[in-house]
């Protein structure tokens, strides 16, 4: 029987990504909590961590601009993760993980792949980047679903993110895109694998997820942007 993994996230897109990550390792997505913003998730993280003493949990949070790098946010939010807690930080938002798969996101949005940034983690606001790309879509349905009408019709950049945009992007992430398809473009996506969790609480292998966060990660050093030139992305985990 497949292991059931519960989750907690900030919003709809994050939930879709979490469910795909869980299914990708052969586990069964359990209930996903939160979905009401970052502060709501933070206030309840202690309870989720307590529950993960006995069963697997996946929590995904956006780095945004709260601190300088993913390990620092982890230390602030969850300095002592429980044994079966898998805490992942998206740099700077989970939308960056979707942008890392340039071919799929370009096809979904109906834009030329050349328009999709090659370094999504360097973006100040990946969510806004997705909306800006959608505003240039060849498909009218995408523009209508994901782009609010700007006050100045000649202005495409900076149009606001609207709820229907999140719903459309979540549906795409849920059915058409695997968040870690292009780890070479996204450090935190490369570190988003939750494979140890599928072993569940009956196997000791998951204990690595509750290690002392001050120690080096077993897949590489603790990473803080900017990444050194020539770094091999697939070996490090900025999103642990």
- How confident is the model over 220-236, as pLDDT tens digits? 233 344 433 332 332 23
Q: Specify the higher pLDDT residue, 23 or 197.
A: 23
What is the per-residue pLDDT for 209? 31
Listed ranges 114-118, 196-200, 210-214; the one with the highest mean pLDDT: 114-118
Q: Token pair for residue 155?
A: 């202005």
Distance separating alpha carbons of residues 14 and 179, to the nearest angstrom: 10
pLDDT over threshold 90, residue 98: yes
Q: Find the mean pLDDT for residues 185-208.
A: 50
pLDDT tens digits, residue range 12-43? 999 999 999 998 888 999 999 999 999 999 99
Structure tokens at 130: 């997705």
pLDDT of res. 213? 36
List residues bridging with 217 in a β-sheet.
Answer: 220
Token readout for 47 is: 């309870």
Contact in structure between 196 and 207 (CB atoms under 8 Å)? no
Q: What is the pLDDT of residue 74?
A: 94
Query: Residue 146 in contact with residue 162, Cβ under 8 Å?
Result: yes
Would you mind telling me the total number of residues written for the chain in this entry? 240
Q: Select, from the ranges 129-138, 142-151, 165-174, 231-240, the one with the highest average predicted confidence (pLDDT).
A: 129-138
Q: How many CA atoms lie within 13 A of 136 on its CB side?
A: 17
> What span, in angstroms and rounded, lies between the C-alpha atoms of 152 and 189?
36
Q: Residue 29: enclosing H or E segment and its boundaries?
A: strand 28-34
- With cut-offs at 50, 70 and 90, classify the pLDDT of residue 180: low
Asked whether the predicted pLDDT for residue 143 surpasses 90, the reply is yes
C-alpha span between 110 and 23 (Å, rounded):
27
The domain limits of the chain are 4-94+182-235, 96-176
Q: What confidence score (pLDDT) does residue 224 get?
A: 44
Query: What's the number of CA atoms in the CB half-sphere (13 Å) around residue 17?
Result: 31
Mean predicted confidence (pLDDT) in 175-199: 59
Q: How would residue 131 be classed by pLDDT, with cut points 50, 70 and 90?
A: very high
pLDDT at 70 over 80: yes
Label residue 239 by pLDDT band (50, 70, 90): very low
Burial per residue of 153-184, b for 16 or more beta-carbon CB atoms within 10 angstroms, e otherwise? eeeeeebebeeebbebbbebbbeebbbbbbbe
Rounded to 5 degrees, φ, ψ at 193 are: -60, 135
Average pLDDT, whole number, for the chain?
78
Residue scoring higher pLDDT (236 or 193): 193
In this prediction, residues 81-104 reach a mean pLDDT of 94
**For 148-175, what is the mean pLDDT?**
71
**For residue 174, pLDDT beyond 60:** yes
């Amino acid at each position: 029987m497949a292991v059931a993994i519960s989750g907690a996230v900030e919003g709809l897109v994050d939930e879709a990504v979490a469910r795909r990550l869980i299914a990708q390792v052969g586990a069964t997505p359990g209930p996903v909590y939160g979905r009401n913003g970052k502060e709501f998730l933070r206030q309840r993280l202690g309870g989720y961590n307590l529950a993960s003493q006995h069963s697997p949990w996946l929590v995904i949070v956006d780095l945004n601009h709260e601190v300088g790098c993913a390990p620092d946010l982890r230390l602030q939010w969850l300095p002592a993760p429980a044994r079966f807690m898998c805490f992942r930080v998206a740099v700077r938002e989970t939308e960056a993980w979707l942008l890392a798969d340039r071919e799929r996101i370009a096809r979904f949005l109906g834009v030329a792949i050349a328009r999709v940034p090659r370094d999504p983690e360097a973006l100040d606001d990946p969510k806004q980047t997705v909306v800006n790309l959608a505003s240039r879509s060849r498909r009218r349905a995408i523009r209508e679903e994901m782009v609010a009408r700007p006050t100045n019709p000649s202005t495409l950049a900076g149009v606001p993110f609207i709820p229907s945009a999140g719903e459309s992007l979540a549906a795409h992430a849920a059915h058409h895109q695997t968040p870690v398809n292009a780890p070479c473009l996204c450090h935190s996506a490369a570190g988003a694998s939750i494979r140890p969790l599928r072993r569940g609480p009956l196997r000791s292998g998951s204990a690595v997820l509750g290690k002392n966060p001050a120690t080096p990660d077993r897949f590489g050093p603790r990473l803080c942007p900017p990444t050194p030139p020539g770094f091999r992305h697939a070996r490090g985990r900025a999103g642990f």
